[in-house]
A and B are shown apart, each in its own frame.
Chain A
Amino acid sequence: MNGHPENAARFVADAERTHWHDTAVWSVRQKRDRAAWTVPEWEELREAAAGIKAHTLSRLADYLEEFERNATANGIRVHWARDGAEHNAIVHGILERHRVTRVAKSKSMLTEECHLNPYLEARGIEVVDTDLGERIVQLAQEPPSHIVMPAIHRKREEIGELFHRTIGTERGLTDPTRLTEAARLHLREKFLAAQAGLTGVNFALADTGGFVVVTNEGNADMGTSLPPLHIASMGVEKVIPRARDLGIFLRVLARSATGQPVSSYTTHFHGPIRGGELHVVVVDNGRSASLASPAFRRSLSCIRCGACLNTCPVYRRSGGYSYTYLIPGPIGSVLGPQRDARANASLPFASSLCGSCSDVCPVKIDVHHELLALRGALAEHGQVAAGKRLSMWFLGFLLRRPALYELAGRMARLVLRRLPALARLGPGGVWARQRELPPAPAESFREMMRRQP
């Protein structure tokens, strides 16, 4: 399977489309900036949000038990899954018991991580993703390319064509309002026909035993207020100590994600609907391993706002599909290799380590430092190409010996001056594809200093 460099090279080959994607995603970063500037205490909020998450992670099991206790008292059934397979089996078991064949699902990256949709579909259950962006990629049979704006990579003409093919809209429809209206009508039917609603969990509240789901479209509310059965999937890291803490998180979440002061619907579930059942499935799937690692545990603070994707100059110019993990961009490049080092070995290197991600993260994850730490971890576990390690070893060898380093430097400059073709071998050649090589002065700085200190 191709890694990020190969995929990204293909993406940027279409320069116009790359600029279009870059501009579209950058505009969301700009919205985020405008929203952040309306909050004078913004940096203090980030600090508080980061602190609450760090505190919670240091007592995660306790808070999860408290959540379970209080949720159970509210009539919520809490289940535990070690991994994606257990999660899927639990969800399917509940649906099967209720003889459900039609499900309305609102966005949950966790259910994508567990590959829930294909699991249920293989067992005769129709799963309709109701978030508009998710529905678009579901109809197109492709994965989301962004965790908040799943179809950001798609132009309106393509969506129009897709809707025409799949839900019968008229050919040539491109106006987003009319396309959204068509989706509204189409999905309204699905909502009315659904026998169960599946959601994710933005925040699970330990002290009150409830959880919060946040949407702009109202799809989580529609999907869980019509049928009597609601199943919510959550990663272990989603619990927060107190409902009051939402006062901090909700002030930074939507502003970071889309530049809105808050999402349209912030729904607090503290029990099943009248005559119904509410289940929560708590999933580990490798999170406890992340928690155990001092270098990577802060990535568990992520509230899935997507701000790091929007600010990342590499994500904007390579798109979600260039990444080998279901969550792309900076946070995906931290989470993916922890899940599967071999499959995602190129991701920590798909970054110039500019640090913009860390500066926008509402919970102050030092994403770019974690990416650097991951590079070291990958190298230690043999996931960095032998050739690269050899050249680094060789370079290190040279640089520990000033006389050798000087000689090598002199030779390099000589080659650059006299044998440019030789300079274009190996990395020099890659450099020189689109760039002139650096100049080759006759004297290095140290040679000048030796001559005339």
Chain B
Amino acid sequence: MTGRDAVLGALRRAAPPAVARPAEPAGVAYPDPVAKFLESVQGVGGMGVRVTDPAGLDAALEGLEAVRAARLVASLIPGLRRANVNLDAVQDPHELEGIDVAVVPGELGVAENGAVWVPGRNLGPHRAVFVVAQHLVLTVPARSIVHNMQEAYGRLTLERPGYGLFISGPSKTADIEQALVIGAHGARSCAVLVVG
């Protein structure tokens, strides 16, 4: 008998009586989800910036200290003035080490927790770019801000096969005496530009 048969057999024999799925409660809704989203981004240690005119993206980036101070900026959004890393020429994700800022487009934002959904296809050939870069800039369309995670999962489509993640704020830890430290292994800062 294979391990698979043994495990599944044991679980079937042990199965409790059927329990129906519960009803799903309605999730919290906000009067101004975009405002709440920006507030939540701030709350999770990120920096929320409203960019009402999509043409103002370059200027908004210049407004970020991490971008101004950056030597190497990798962008998954084409045509950005500050971008100077050709990700297509990178053969091995290990070569990404040294990138100061990664600019990544997100697909939707969640007001209750400042999370941005980034599908794998938005990360380019080497998905490690968002975690190896020292600083992260995310963009998300204002009309794609949802109220809560329940709504988010109703809206997003998971790439199959594929990859995708919610990013909420910069990398952080409180493992030393519960003291919050921003910038554990991933991005030391996370700016979220809400566009449109």
Interface residues of A (CB under 8 A from B): 24, 27-28, 39-41, 44-45, 47-48, 50-52, 54-55, 57-61, 64-65, 70, 73-76, 79-82, 86, 130-133, 136, 149-152, 154-156, 159, 176-177, 179-181, 183-184, 187-188, 191-192, 208-210, 216-219, 221-222, 225-226, 236, 241, 243-244, 246-248, 250-251, 258, 260-274, 282, 284, 288-289, 291-292, 294, 297
When distances are taken between beta carbons in the complex, the residues of chain B under 8 Å from A79 are 3
Given contacts A284-B7, A288-B11, contact A209 B165 (CB under 8 A): no
When distances are taken between beta carbons in the complex, the residues of chain A under 8 Å from B141 are none
B38 within 8 Å of A by Cβ?
Answer: no
Given contacts A60-B15, A270-B159, contact A27 B178 (CB under 8 A): yes
Can you list 19 residue pairs at the A/B interface with Cβ under 8 Å?
A24-B178, A55-B19, A55-B22, A82-B3, A136-B176, A217-B184, A222-B185, A225-B132, A236-B7, A236-B11, A247-B150, A247-B151, A261-B43, A262-B44, A262-B113, A262-B114, A269-B163, A270-B161, A271-B160
When distances are taken between beta carbons in the complex, the residues of chain B under 8 Å from A247 are 24, 27, 148-154
CB pair A150 B162 closer than 8 Å: no
CB pair B170 A251 closer than 8 Å: no
Q: How far is the CB of B88 from chain A (nearest CB, A)?
A: 13
Map CB proximity to A onto B69-90 as digits: 1 under 8 Å, 0 otherwise. Answer: 0000000000000000000000
Across the interface, name the chain A residue whose C-beta is closest to B16: A58
Complex CA–CA separation, A64 to B4 (angstroms): 10
Within 8 A of A (CB), among B136-189: 148-154, 158-179, 181, 183-187
* Residue from A152, A209, A244, A267 whose CB has the most chain B CB atoms within 10 Å: A267
Instruction: Work out how many contacts link A and B, with CB atoms closer than 8 A.
Output: 274
Complex CA–CA separation, A246 to B166 (angstroms): 12
Q: How far is the CB of A254 from chain B (nearest CB, A)?
A: 8
CB pair B171 A288 closer than 8 Å: no
Count of chain B residues with a beta carbon within 8 Å of a chain A beta carbon = 78
Across the interface, name the chain B residue whose C-beta is closest to A259: B174
CB pair A217 B160 closer than 8 Å: no
Excluding A57-B19, A61-B12, 14 further A-B contacts by CB distance (< 8 Å) are: A39-B28, A58-B18, A149-B178, A156-B179, A179-B176, A180-B183, A216-B172, A219-B185, A221-B131, A222-B185, A225-B93, A265-B131, A270-B158, A270-B162
When distances are taken between beta carbons in the complex, the residues of chain A under 8 Å from B7 are 64, 80-82, 236, 282, 284, 288
CB pair A288 B14 closer than 8 Å: yes
When distances are taken between beta carbons in the complex, the residues of chain B under 8 Å from A50 are 22
Across the interface, name the chain A residue whose C-beta is closest to B177: A156
Within 8 A of A (CB), among B72-119: 93-94, 97, 110, 112-115
Across the interface, name the chain B residue whose C-beta is closest to A262: B113
Across the interface, name the chain A residue whose C-beta is closest to B25: A44
CB pair A55 B149 closer than 8 Å: no
Across the interface, name the chain B residue whose C-beta is closest to A250: B149
CB pair A188 B185 closer than 8 Å: yes
* Residue from B10, B130, B168, B176 whose CB has the most chain A CB atoms within 10 Å: B176
CB pair B21 A52 closer than 8 Å: yes
CB pair B158 A82 closer than 8 Å: no
B31 within 8 Å of A by Cβ?
Answer: no
